[in-house]
Amino acid sequence: MPKKKVKKAVKGVLEAVAVEGMTDILPKDGELWKLILETGKHLSELYDFHFIETPMLEVPDIFVAGIGEKAEAAAKKMYSFKTPDGQDVALRQDLSAPVLRSYIEHHLGYFASPLKVYHKGPVFRFGKVEPGMNREVRQWGFDIIGDNDAVYDIQVILASMEFLKLLKFPSLRLKINTMGCKVCRSNYHEKLKTYYRKQKTCTTCKGNIEEHPLRLFKCTTPECAELKKEAPIILDHLCQACNNHFKAVLELVEDNGVAYEPDPYFVREKEYYNRTIFEIYSGEYQYSLAGGGRYDYLSEMLFKKMIPGVGVALSLDRILEQMKARNTPHHRKDHPRVFFVAVGDQAKKMSVRLMNLLRMNNIAVIEALGKKTLSAQMKFGDRVNTPIALIFGQKEAFENTIIIRDTKSGAQETIILDRLVEETKKRLR
C-alpha cells in the first residue's frame, strides 16, 4: 500500500485529497467488498455468532486502561476530542473493548452464555503511516464472552481460518503463543529483565527493559534480534493452569488439522491479554490478515468485573488488497440484470417508472440515460455485458410497447408494456 503524496493546497482552493492514513473503497472494488461482507455474514451464522454494532465514539478511558502505557502516551495514539458540551470522547481504537462495555451495560450475559458475537467497522489509531499500516483500519471481529474454556479459543481461530479459506486465500498458517496469567507472567518478566540487563542492547531497548521487557522481542536491529535467540521463553515459566490451557488449545488446533507455528517470541504488549494469542498469515504475504487472543483481564481493568473473553479481528483492508493482487474471482450480482435504453424526452420520463417496476420484481436494471443518443447508450451497454437490453424510444412510448433484444444473438422482439415483467423474466431464466 504505497504512501499517499500530499500536495500543497493552493490558497483559497480546497484540495481533493483524503486525510492521511484514511482510504476510500472505490466502486471498482465494490464486488470484492460485497463478497467479503457476505462471506463474513454467512460464516457468522454457521458458527452461531450474533450480530452486534457499537458506536464509533467511546469515552477515551476504555482504550487507555490495561494497555500497559501511561495515559499520556496512550492518548497520543488516539483520535480524541471534547464535544461542544464538554464531554471527552475518542474514536474507537479496537472493537473488543466496546463490545465488552456493551455486554456489561445491556446485561448481555442473560441473552446467551457465553455470548458469541460478530461485528464490523473501522477502528482508528494515530501513528506513523507505513505500508500495511493505515490510521483507519476496517475490521471484522469475532468475540466470545463469558467463558474461559479452551474450546472457545479454537472456535474464534477456526472461524477466522474458514473466513479466509472461503475467500480463496492459499497456504494459511497460524502463529500462536501464550501470554500466561498475572502470576506466571510476572515471574517471567523478572527473568527477562535479569537476562537483558546483562546484555548490550540498542538505546531504545535499553529504555524498555524495566517497564516493557516484551517490547525487546519486536526490535529488528541486528544486535537485539541476535540476543532474542537466547532470551528466556514463557513456555518454561508457565503455571500449571496456564500450561494445561495452552496444551488444550494446541491439541484442538492439531485435532482440526490447522497448520500452525508455535512462536515463543510472539507477544502482545497490551496487559489485558492472557493465555492464548495468535495471528493468521497467508502464503508469502508479510502482514497478518487476522490476529487475536484471550483477554480475561480486560473487564477487570475497565469495569472491576471478572468476565473472561476471547476474540479476533480480521483486517478487511489487507484482505481486500490481497484479493485484488491475486485477481480473486467474485460472485456475479445476486439478481438477473438488464440494460435499459431510452431515447427521447417522453421515453426517458416514462422509463423511470418502468425501471422501478422491474426493480420491484427483483430484476436489477443498469442504464446510461444521461447519454443522449441510442448509439452512446448501446456502447455503454456493451461494456456492462447484460443478457438482455430493453430499448424504449419515442415510437414505443406512443404505442405503449418496448423492444427486448438478446445481446448475444442480436434477435429482438417488440412487446406491449403490460407484459414487460413477465417477458423479461422468461428470457432471463
Task: Give the pLDDT of residue 372.
Answer: 76
Say how many residues make up the chain: 429
Residues 364, 401, single domain; the answer is yes
Q: Are residues 309 and 367 in the same domain?
A: no
Do 46 and 137 fall within a single domain? yes
pLDDT computed for residue 392 by the predictor: 92
Determine the Cα–Cα distance for residues 368 and 389; give it in Å rounded to an integer: 12
Higher local confidence (pLDDT), 318 or 333: 318
Q: Is residue 222 part of a domain?
A: no
User: Which pLDDT score, from 0 to 100, does residue 416 have?
Assistant: 93
If asked whether residues 66 and 129 sit together in one domain, one would say: yes
Which pLDDT belongs to residue 30? 85
Domain endpoint, select from 298, 325, 352? 325
pLDDT at residue 4 greater than cutoff 60: no
Rounded to an integer, what distance in angstroms lies between the CA atom of residue 153 and that of residue 310? 6
Q: Are residues 243 and 272 in the same domain?
A: yes
Predicted confidence (pLDDT) at residue 393 exceeds the cutoff of 80: yes
293 within a domain of the structure (yes/no):
yes
Helix H, strand E, coil C: the string for the chain is CCCCCCCCCCCCCCCCCCCCCCCCCCHHHHHHHHHHHHHHHHHHHHCCCEECCCCCEECCHHHHCCCCCCHHHHHCCCCEEECCCCCEEEECCCCHHHHHHHHHHCCHHHCCCCEEEEEEEEEECCCCCECCECCEEEEEEEEEECCCCHHHHHHHHHHHHHHHHHCCCCCEEEEEEECCCHHHHHHHHHHHHHHHHCCCCCHHHHHHCCCCHHHHHHCCCHHHHHHHCCCCCHHHHCCHHHHHHHHHHHHHHHHCCCCEEECCCCCCCCCCCEEEEEEEEECCCCCCCEEEEECCCHHHHHHCCCCCEEEEEEEHHHHHHHHHHCCCCCCCCCCCEEEEEECCHHHHHHHHHHHHHHHHCCCEEEECCCCCCHHHHHHHHHHHCCCEEEEECHHHHHHCEEEEEECCCCCEEEEEHHHHHHHHHHHHC
- Of the three residues 291, 325, 359, the one that is the final residue of a domain is 325
Res 6 pLDDT > 60? no
- Kindly state the cell numbers that stand for 379: 456502447
Is residue 148 situated within a structural domain? yes
Confidence of residue 428 (pLDDT cuts 50, 70, 90): confident
Does the residue 15 lie in any domain? no
pLDDT over threshold 80, residue 65: no
Q: What is the CATH number of the domain that holds 399?
A: 3.40.50.800
pLDDT of 68: 53
Confidence of residue 349 (pLDDT cuts 50, 70, 90): confident
Q: What is the pLDDT of residue 75?
A: 66
Q: Are residues 213 and 189 in contact, defined by beta-carbon separation less than 8 angstroms?
A: yes
pLDDT tens string 231-250: 888 898 999 999 999 999 99
Report pLDDT for 177.
Answer: 94
% residues pLDDT > 90 (the chain): 33
pLDDT of residue 61: 85
Lowest mean pLDDT among 115-124, 224-233, 253-262: 224-233
Structural domain containing residue 135: 27-181+239-325
pLDDT at 19: 78
Handedness of CA 363, 367, 373, 374 (dihedral sign): negative
Is residue 120 located within the same domain as residue 33? Answer: yes
Tell me, yes or no, whether 261 lies in a domain.
yes
Per the model's pLDDT, the better-predicted residue between 21 and 153 turns out to be 153
CATH number at residue 61: 3.30.930.10
Q: Do both 319 and 345 map to the same domain?
A: no
Contact 139/319 with Cβ under 8 angstroms?
no
In the chain, the number of structural domains is 2
Question: Would you call 181 exposed, middle or buried from its count of C-beta atoms within 10 A (0-12, 13-18, 19+)?
Answer: middle
Q: Say what the pLDDT of residue 131 is.
A: 67
Q: Work out the pLDDT band at 415, boundaries 50, 70, 90.
A: very high
pLDDT tens sequence across 101-141? 999 999 998 888 889 999 999 988 887 767 667 888 899 99
Are 319 and 371 members of one domain?
no
In this structure, are residues 306 and 206 in contact, taking their beta carbons and an 8 Å threshold? Answer: no
Whether 212 is in a domain gets the answer no
Q: Are residues 256 and 373 in the same domain?
A: no
Confidence of residue 331 (pLDDT cuts 50, 70, 90): low
Q: Where is mean pLDDT largest: 7-21, 49-63, 223-237?
A: 49-63
160 and 307 inside one domain: yes
Tell me, yes or no, whether 387 and 257 share the same domain. no
pLDDT tens digits for 138-165?
999 999 999 988 888 998 999 999 999 9
- Picking from 273, 297, 325, the residue at the C-terminal end of a domain is 325
Summary mean pLDDT of the chain? 86
pLDDT above 70: residue 72: no
Summarised one tens digit per residue, pLDDT across range 170-211 is 889 999 999 999 888 888 888 888 888 888 888 888 888 888
Q: If 0-12 CB within 10 Å is exposed, 13-18 middle and 19+ buried, where does residue 377 land?
A: buried
Distance separating alpha carbons of residues 243 and 86, to the nearest angstrom: 48
Query: Are 263 and 395 in the same domain?
Result: no
| Residue 6 counted as domain residue | no
For 208, residues 6+ apart whose C-beta sits below 8 A from its C-beta are 215, 216
Answer whether residue 206 is part of any domain.
no
